[in-house]
Structures are given as structure tokens and as C-alpha cells.
Amino acid sequence: MHVVATAGHVDHGKSALVRALTGRDPDRLAQERQRGLTIELGYVWTALPAAGEVAFVDVPGHERFISTTLAGLGPVPVVLFVVAADDPWMPQAAEHLAALDALGVNRGLLVVTRTDLADPTAARMAAREQLGATSLRDIPDVAVSARTGAGMTQLRETLDRLLAGLPPAPSTAPARLWVDRSFVAAGAGTIVTGTLPAGTVTVGEELTTGETGVRVRGVETLGRQVPAATGPARVALNLTAAVARGAVLTPAGRWHHTTTVDVRLRPTALATAAGPPRQPLLHIGASTMAVRLRRLGERHARLHLPAAMPLWIGDRGILRDPGTRSLWGMTVLDPAPPPLRGRGAGVARAAELATADGNATVAQEVARRGLADRLLLQRIGVPIAGSAALPPDVISAGEWLISREHAMRLGDGVLAAVREHATAAPLQPGLTPAGVAAKLGLPAAEIVAAVLPSSVQLREGRVVASDSAEVAPPVARAVAALEAQLGTAPFAAPTAEGLQELGFTDEVLGAAVRAGLVLRLDRSVVLAAGADDEAATALAELPQPFTVSQARQRLATTRRVVLPLLAHLDRTGRTRRLADDRRRVTGR
């Protein structure tokens, strides 16, 4: 299906034109028909031979209804720009044209209508001149009379060709339905209608406004119940809960809902030199809201929205000053921007955004952010395939993407953190990746592992400088002294005081135990590493089973040592303790 909106000055013949095209009256309110004035958006449709089904969104031209007009134009990519042959170029034509230019709409037809009342040449020339400075400069034009039908065949053919030649909406785009009407139907409950530019909405699906979750009970397009509708389309949904006009319905979790967006500003022909006011109206899709605007340099601004909206990079909208009727175009560059802190932050941010053009790429988004959440990037419209397809300057770390440049900076930070820790606590084990992440304020340990410079390595789960000794010098010294003392009497463990004299403070002893350099059997019973294996071998030479006393004699040691040593051998399965307190070396 294709969706086409009308635009043009009040009373120039928009509704009459789509009525002539479709055979259906877009003005459905009694008041509209009485007054010959469109007030609400009108929806009618027809089929064309090549393009297939075409739905029209007929907008009001009266200046009082400009918000409704913009809600109609907002999500629609193709326009029938209508001017009357018998009237000059008029203010609402100019306003609608500025709005379409702000939105970057560049597809459609210029339709000079009411040719039964006047020669179309002058109106056509005037309109072409105005269109020449906008995104609609290249659209074809046709002259018609909705009353006599003159030119309608050519209009139909030109529109058919135009629509049939449009590229299809990207099939992977998640759905986003801009609700432009909401009402309660007797027996059915809440019905909303809206334009679905892309993506699919399915019966039974859960959607969200960002605040309220709803389930889709029924989907209707062009007056028919369907199991699913795929954009571009006009759809009506029967929902399980009320949703207001102006809301945006999306599948939960597929979009990033934001109240802060950085945008590029673009003046239209109806813009004042001073730029948009600090509290303009933002029209985006079919939504309208008062926003706070902070300028970032000349061409950029940060918008604060009163409610979270599902926006992504490249979304176009209109900023409007209702007082002066000035209009600016805005393109979303970043729907998840960093906070601005301190003086000059705005200007610095504008410099960062200078190269952004609303076409999201992984390389550019990751480069600007340094560190980015993969899922967030997907939700703001950055096309990310798999890790295999990442650009060379992007490093993948689980859920995170890191620019190579930022990874180098983080790597320096890791080295500094590791050195600082080694200096402050030389006898403590090194920091874990999670510990380093916490110290550097990084959101995940996997980031630390991904940015380790060659000067840092992971040693038994600890992040340590590659040039750091395996063992701190005081530990090495104490262990060497112990080994020397135990050389001829391996089981004659030193006393607590003896350990102190060898250099084993509590910290040194702890470090030596963690490094596996000594065997601690009890608080102050310490032997050289491997003494337990040696003991088992010696005890195996005794007649089995043996008593504690026999073991003590065989190992030439005291009860202070032999008791915890045997307990250790029992625990580690080298010996087995019998009911009479004698033991066997296992496997004998």
C-alpha cells in the first residue's frame, strides 16, 4: 500500500480532488460537509493499476487547524500539493510547503486544480517558483478539474507511475504507528487510526506507548479486517486499552524512548533570522508537543521533550513558533545524547555533531560515543549486523562496542589503575577485571578484558602489569628463608615467632599462601609447598595402618605439626582415618 497526503491553501480543492480520485468523501463530519471545510484528517483510498492500493490522508487547509495538518503530513512520504488555478499563491500554501520542506518530503505531484474556472498557467508558474527552493523542487505537475474531470486521467497515470517507482520501505524496520485518531466504538472498545510508515503490526501483538502496554485485538486497513498490516499503510487498530491521539505505538523493547534529543536545525522559507524560540512546538510524525530548546552552536540544538518518544537517528520534524508562524526543520542526530556539563559544553557538543548527518552508521556512532551499548544503538536506528561485519575501528566486548581510539585511552586507564593498586597494596592480589571496571567507572568487566594493552595481562583472573614480578619481593624473601630452614627437617615447622623472624607478617603469609608458595596447615603451622605430598610418601613406607605417634616419629616432628598435617592429608584424600584413630595411606 502507498500513503499520500494532500497539502495546500484552504478551499483550493484538496478534498474535491481526492474525492474525484477515489469516489469517497474525505470530509465525513456533518459540519465539514455543511461548511465545505475540512476540520479533521480525512481518510479515503483507491487502487491504481501499477502501484496497487493507495490511501490518502486529506488535511485541512484552514490556518486554525495547522496542528492537525502537520499531524497528517508528518508521517507521510508522498504529497499531492494542490493549488487552485483561479487563486494566487496563498499563505497556507506557503506554510504547508515550508512544513514539507522541513520534513524533507521530496516525492509527490503539484496539482493545479479548478482549471474549469481559470487558465492554470499563472498558478502553475507561481507554484513552481515557490517549490523551486524546497525539497519538492523536482516533482512533476499536472492540471486538472475535479469538477469536469479534465486532466484526471493524466493525474492518475502520473501518480501511478510515481508510486510504482518508489523503493519499498526497509523490511527489517520495527513498527511505529503514529496515532492520529482515537475513539471508542460501540461493542468494539478503543479504536485508533494512524499512519504506519514501515514495519508490521499483527493481531495479538503487544504494543506500548512508552508508558502504557496494549494488546492488538484487531487490525483493519482500507476497511478490511486483516491478520497483519505492513507499512507504509493506513491502519486502524482495535486495542485492549485507551490510547490518546498523538501517541506513538511501538513493539515493546524495539525503540529507545527518549526525552532528550540532539538535532540539526534547518531554516525554511518561513524562518526568522533569530532562529527558533526557546519553547517551540515540535511536530513529529502525528505528534505535537511543546519542547524546551537549547541552542548548541549555530546549527544544532538540544530538545527536552515533555514525554518520552520513540525516536531514532534521521527522524525529521518541524519546530514551529505559533506566535510568528515561523517554521524550522529539525533532523534527529542523537536520541541518546550525553549530558552537557559546564560552560562551553554546548559548543563542544555542536563540534562533535558537525559531521553527523542523520544517516546512522556503526563506525560514526561508536567513534563519537567511544563506548556504546549495542542494543541502544540498534534501538536508535544504527544498522548493526553481526560482530563479524563490524568496521575495523570498532571493538566488540559482549553487549558493548568500543572505538579503537577510546579503547587505547581506556587501556591507559587500566594500566594506571593496576599500577596504583600494586603500589598502594603490594601484597594484595591484583584487581579483578570487575574491580578495575569499578575503579574506572566502566559499566562492565568485559570492557576491561577487551581493552587490555600489552603492558597489562590477566594472570589467574587478576589484572596485573606484565612487568610486575609474579611474587612481591618480601614474599619471595620470606619463602626462601623458610625453605632454607626446612631444608633438612621438612616437617619441623617454625613457631609463630619463628615465622615472624623469617619475615612472615600476616600480609606476607597471606600472599605466599594465595600464590601457592607455602602450605599453611593451621594459623601458624606453615610448611614448604609440597610438604604434604612428601609426607604421604614417607608415611606410605610405614606398616599400615599406623598411629599418630608412629607418623610423628617417621616425620621427625611434633604433635603441633603432625595433627593438622594428618587432618590435611585426610581432607585431601591422601590418608584415610580408621575407627581406632589409626590411618592408612590410601591406595596401599
Ligand X SMILES: Nc1nc2c(ncn2[C@@H]2O[C@H](COP(=O)(O)OP(=O)(O)OP(=O)(O)O)[C@@H](O)[C@H]2O)c(=O)[nH]1
**Residue ranges binding ligand X (CB under 6 A):** 8, 10-16, 36-38, 60-62, 113-114, 116-117, 145-147
Nearer to ligand X, 116 or 393 (CB): 116
Nearer to Mg ion, 60 or 151 (CB): 60
| CB-CB neighbours of 170 under 10 Å | 10
Q: Is residue 107 a contact partner of residue 78, using CB atoms and an 8 Å limit?
A: yes
Nearer to Mg ion, 109 or 214 (CB): 109
Residue 15 as a binder of Mg ion (CB under 5 A): the answer is yes
Rounded least distance, CB 20 to ligand X, Å: 8
Rounded least distance, CB 152 to Mg ion, Å: 17
Nearer to Mg ion, 51 or 85 (CB): 85
Rounded least distance, CB 146 to ligand X, Å: 4
Amino acid at 91: P
CB environment 20-39: b (16+ within 10 A), e (fewer): bbbebebbeeeebeeeebbe
Nearer to ligand X, 27 or 352 (CB): 27
Pairing mode of beta strands 78-84, 2-7: parallel
Rounded least distance, CB 331 to ligand X, Å: 28
Q: Pattern 172-191, binding to Mg ion, x per CB under 5 A? A: --------------------
Nearer to ligand X, 148 or 466 (CB): 148
**Total interface residues for Mg ion by CB under 5 A:** 3
Stretch that binds Mg ion, among 11-19, 145-153, 354-362, 526-534 (CB under 5 A): 11-19
Subset of residues 16 to 75 that bind Mg ion, contact rule: CB under 5 A: 38
**Backbone angles phi and psi of 157, in degrees to 5:** -65, -45
Rounded least distance, CB 35 to ligand X, Å: 8
User: What is the Cβ-side half-sphere exposure of residue 304, based on CA atoms within 13 angstroms?
Assistant: 9
Rounded least distance, CB 156 to ligand X, Å: 15
| CB-CB neighbours of 48 under 10 Å | 18
Residue 557 as a binder of Mg ion (CB under 5 A): the answer is no
- How many Å apart are CA 352 and CA 349, to the nearest integer? 5
- List C-alpha distances in Å: 404 to 356, 366, 414, 448: 19, 9, 15, 13
- List C-alpha distances in Å: 11 to 67, 112, 114, 530: 17, 13, 11, 99
> Of these partners, Mg ion, ligand X, none, which one is at the site of residue 330 (CB under 5 to 8 Å by kind)?
none
Nearer to Mg ion, 92 or 209 (CB): 92
Residue 113 as a binder of Mg ion (CB under 5 A): the answer is no
- Report helix, strand or coil for 565: helix
Cell numbers given for 74: 508528518
Rounded least distance, CB 276 to ligand X, Å: 26
Instruction: Name the residue with cell 612487568.
Output: 467
Cell numbers given for 372: 556504546
| Nearby residues of 301 by Cβ (< 8 Å), 6 or more positions away | 262, 263, 265, 276, 293, 294, 295, 330
> Of these partners, ligand X, Mg ion, none, which one is at the site of residue 583 (CB under 5 to 8 Å by kind)?
none
| CB-CB neighbours of 385 under 10 Å | 8
Q: Which residue is nearest to ligand X (CB)?
A: 61
Q: Rule CB under 5 A: which residues touch Mg ion?
A: 14-15, 38
